Amino acid sequence: MEKAMTIDERLEALTMNLELTARSLESYRERTEEDRQRTEADRQQAAANREQVAVEMADLRGVVRSLAESLSQDTRELRDDIGSLANTVGRVIEAEEEFNRQFRAELMRLGTIQTEMGREFRAEMKTLGEVQTEMSREFREEMKALARSEAETNVQLRMELKSGQASTQFLAEIVTRHEQWIASRPAA
């Protein structure tokens, strides 16, 4: 049979159990304190994070608001520019249509003038042709008369040459040059 424990042994065992329990409680208290400190640090970090997020959100809202205002202003200006451009294009189209109308009218007027000028030009050319024909006829008659006169002059010069009324050498030169000139001329 197992020997009964003495009071001292029991006290010693109880003391050991109490010490173990105390150490466990101390360890638990330390862990709890560490957990509490970590939780507090996490809570403070979370609060700081929330504040940082709030600041960043406020900044972001400001940026978005500024962008929205700028976009709204740009949109208004773009609408105004588009309206102005549409008005300008409309005026340009109207001016171009008016120019085309005037251009067609001018072309028709010029065509009429050109037709009239062509008729007058043809009449003038016909008249000039008739005048030229008449002038050619008169020119041929004058050339024939001149040729007859030159022939008579040559005959007269030869006669004078024979009669000794002029220097033989001088008259011979004149006759030779005159005959060369007649020979070089185209026939009438």
Rounded CA-CA distance 28/26 in Å is: 5
Q: Which domain holds residue 173?
A: 8-184
In a domain, 3, yes or no: no
Classify residue 61: in a domain, yes or no.
Answer: yes
Q: Is residue 18 part of a domain?
A: yes
User: DSSP labels for 21-78?
Assistant: HHHHHHHHHHHHHHHHHHHHHHHHHHHHHHHHHHHHHHHHHHHHHHHHHHHHHHHHHH
Structure tokens belonging to residue 110: 């010029």
Tracing tokens 């740009």 back to the chain, one arrives at: 74
| Domain count of the fold of the chain | 1
Give φ, ψ of 149 to 5 degrees: -65, -40
Residue by residue, pLDDT tens for the chain (188 residues) are 355 678 888 899 999 999 999 999 999 999 999 999 999 999 999 999 999 999 999 999 999 999 998 988 989 899 899 989 989 999 999 998 999 999 999 889 888 988 988 888 888 888 888 888 888 888 888 888 888 888 887 787 777 766 665 566 776 788 888 888 888 877 65
Residue 156: inside a domain: yes
Does 109 reside within a domain?
Answer: yes
Residue 2: inside a domain? no
**Distance separating alpha carbons of residues 86 and 80, to the nearest angstrom:** 10
pLDDT for the residue 157: 72
Q: Is the CB of residue 158 less than 8 Å from the CB of residue 178? A: no
Question: What distances in angstroms separate CA 68 from CA 60, 64, 79, one per listed residue?
Answer: 12, 6, 16
Specify the pLDDT at position 1: 39
Q: Closest by alpha carbon to 141, among 149, 153, 131, 129?
A: 149
**In a domain? residue 17:** yes
* Predicted local distance difference test score (pLDDT) of residue 164: 63
